[in-house]
Structure 1
């Protein structure tokens, strides 16, 4: 079985590293002053991939945390980590700039739903593995604009469409579980994993190491973990060790 990626989240808002409840602005359960230092600490604890999100970009369409992201890239990349970035990427130019700065993967969410061809454009220009399509799902339907709008398209159907357009990964966030620290509901993720032939990274609800085992068992490529790590539900080191011990 391939290694299961545990991907710490570094979500940025107003220059701070935060964790929101259900993605709602103002619901910060965690607020730390130095996102770059936080990112490097995850690498030092064993992370092989970092998940960076500019929440100001996601909510407002303007990426306000660009200098911090550049700082993280400059400090983390020499340590051998992969970096995926999302939040406020609204054009091919935005994606191209981040990839040229050293990001390994860009997460295309709202822009992909509004302009599906961008997935093919980025994939053709930078390679399939550079493109992560972010599907944020509520009750099985894709949410956009920082989760403020629910589309009429089902996540499974959208996942297949973007696989055909050249996406290398799908980041599937189950909004119904996100940020609540009540465990994962694997059924929506399992349905998507079984519907596409590209890796699916799960997000939303991971609370225990057992949740990671559940996601690995259904075939997820990895999981983005935020609140559980920041509130010490488990440590990254313990999770990595546990997954290695039971293959």
Structure 2
């Protein structure tokens, strides 16, 4: 699998935003039309879109569901895979998204609180459609929009969810997320070396060199938000950098 750079389309109150450390009110970017943003990423070469309903993640209500449905309907036919997270609290929530065309659902709080949901979804839809997000702060997995800390490490949870049937993991290093100060690759590498399923990395990417550092951990992809939205580099430059390094 070729290493992939995946642009984030994070939605809050109907807009495409970028938060600092996931804190409401810290928007550094706020764009009015998430659907247009998603299409623009595809025009620049994105093969996968990372859609997050921040209202759902923070408040447990999937307020941006209509926007996500539009993006799925309008972007899949032009060549993009869609992975969706944020506010998926039940089997029904996840099943609804998959039945409406999402390629992967990203479970976080629901999986930590009710791990069996991972097995149920994998059994019903196939492992490749089930991703579990492990958002780590100070070495422990955070839940409920990063407002609460669990007692579990990403490695512990990664192994558990692989055994339950997750097809991939999304590892976000909250300690570096949104700060635009570069990446810390060690936690990602530890998780990659502990599981046999693909790991997608996220958190802190600031430069093209950071992309290479993440790829060298063995991760299959990296989700990039703030660096793209603030013009640190373009998606085309990111894709070309990966190609040149192969």
TM-score (norm 2): 0.99
2:27 partner SS:
coil
Q: CA deviation at 1:121?
A: 0.6
2:26 partner SS:
coil
What do residues 120-172 of structure 1 show as CA deviations (whole Å, max 9, x unaligned)? 01111111100000000001100000000011111110100000000001000
What do residues 25-72 of structure 1 show as CA deviations (whole Å, max 9, x unaligned)? 000000000000000100110000000000000011110001100110
Separation (CA, whole Å) in 1 of partners of 2:238 and 2:141: 30
Match of 1:195 in 2: 194
Q: Tell me the C-alpha RMSD between the 2 structures.
A: 0.5
* 1:137 paired to 2:113: no
Separation (CA, whole Å) in 1 of partners of 2:34 and 2:40: 10
Query: Which ranges of 4 or more aligned residues in structure 1 deviate by more than 3 Å?
Result: none
Which structure 2 residues correspond to residues 60-79 of structure 1 after superposition, within 5 A? 60-79=59-78
Separation (CA, whole Å) in 2 of partners of 1:150 and 1:172: 15
Which structure 2 residues correspond to residues 18-29 of structure 1 after superposition, within 5 A? 18-29=17-28
Which structure 2 residues correspond to residues 103-182 of structure 1 after superposition, within 5 A? 103-182=102-181
Which structure 2 residues correspond to residues 205-216 of structure 1 after superposition, within 5 A? 205-216=204-215
Which structure 2 residues correspond to residues 25-44 of structure 1 after superposition, within 5 A? 25-44=24-43
1:153 partner SS:
coil
TM-score (norm 1): 0.99
Q: CA deviation at 1:246?
A: 1.4
Match of 1:95 in 2: 94
Separation (CA, whole Å) in 1 of partners of 2:118 and 2:97: 15
Separation (CA, whole Å) in 2 of partners of 1:148 and 1:242: 35
Match of 2:54 in 1: 55
Separation (CA, whole Å) in 2 of partners of 1:61 and 1:243: 36
Separation (CA, whole Å) in 2 of partners of 1:25 and 1:126: 33
Match of 1:16 in 2: 15
Separation (CA, whole Å) in 2 of partners of 1:73 and 1:211: 29
Is there any run of 5+ residues in structure 1 with no aligned partner, and where?
none
Is there any run of 5+ residues in structure 2 with no aligned partner, and where?
none
1:95 partner SS:
helix
Match of 1:242 in 2: 241
